[in-house]
Amino acid sequence: MARSMWKGAIQFGLVTIPVKLYVATEARAGVSFNMLHETDKSRIQMKIWCPEDEAIIQRSETVKGFEYAPDKYVVITDEDLEKLPLKTVRSIEIEQFVDTAEAERQTHFVKSAYYIEPDRVGRKAFALLKAVLEDKNLTAICKFVLRDREVLAALNPFENTMLLSTLYWPDEIRDMGELDLPEEEPEIKPAERKMAAQLIEAMTGEFDPNQYHDEYREALMQVIEAKIEGRETVEIEAPEEETKLVDLMAALQASVKAAAEARDKSEKPVSVEEAKARKTAKAGSKVAGTETDEAKPARRRKTA
């Protein structure tokens, strides 16, 4: 069973809803490597070194220290953190409610997402808050303390629970002024715009995340498995590099043609409901004996 990583309460007005947070996503571990000594291939160990004692120490012997002056520290304990005079230490404080469309424009930079599980005593209040947010199409903007930091977050209904997305503070978002962007938009010809729209239309479809996978990891594992088995390293074909600039219109036309051909070759995706309906209809036709002669395999006559 999943373990909660935060426990507290959602607080808005005088309403308190005890909840737990669960991490909603997990990054699949990449192909990990260990650091080895090049000469004897032994694994390197990372030690915590104390230069004052000139000795290796255990992690349990470490404490948190804040450097308030060069080489001068004050120790901060977990008890100090628990005593901070902030409501958000154990409470997700809803600051305001905003229109969801407006919130989406202001919350592009998301750090992490968390599922919320209400305690049994708070399920009715939790369901009420979720229902009103859905009815009014609102997002709750809130603050709470997570891992020794107060964070800004957006709270939204999500299926049969709510999703809490932590956000970057405004001063953590870099200014785009550092980028070398054109002051004026380049001129786009109507024919180019039309052809680009055709290409986008040809590549437009329903998003199914299950169609995508980590091809880099698969290619890297092929190389690793080949080395383990003592075979030659697998050569991965690299895409050909363009040696010259291609005419934009010609590239668009070729792309539209390729996308259209690819779509014609692949079967058009159907919804789950359509697939079930087709399966039911097919089963019904077999029972009723309505399959066409073309669908039945031809029987060979026995020869004397």
As a 3-state breakdown, the chain gives helix, strand, coil percent values, each rounded to 5, of 35, 25, 40
Q: Which CATH number fits domain 6-22+86-172: 1.10.760.10, 2.40.290.10, 3.40.50.2000, 3.40.50.300?
A: 2.40.290.10
Token pair listed for 182? 């054109």
Alpha-carbon gap, residue 147 to 89, rounded angstroms: 10
26-45 confidence digits (pLDDT tens)? 877 677 788 888 888 888 88
Continuous segment of H or E residues that includes residue 273 = helix 272-288
- The per-residue pLDDT for range 176-234, each reduced to its tens digit, is 888 888 888 888 889 989 998 888 888 888 888 888 888 888 888 888 888 788 765 55
Cα distance between residue 159 and residue 220, in whole Å: 37
Burial (CB < 10 A; 0-12, 13-18, 19+), residue 4, is middle
- Within a 10 A sphere around the Cβ of 234, how many other Cβ atoms? 14
Tens of pLDDT, residue by residue over 85-117, are 677 888 999 999 999 999 988 888 999 999 999
- Residue of 254 and 193 predicted with greater confidence: 193
Question: Rounded mean pLDDT of the chain?
Answer: 81
Cα–Cα distance for residue pair 166/25, rounded to 1 Å: 13
Which tens digit of pLDDT belongs to each residue from 112-149? Answer: 999 999 999 999 999 999 999 999 999 999 999 988 78
- The domain spans of the chain are 6-22+86-172
Helix or strand (DSSP H, E) at 99? strand 91-99
Q: How confident is the model at residue 286, as a pLDDT?
A: 47
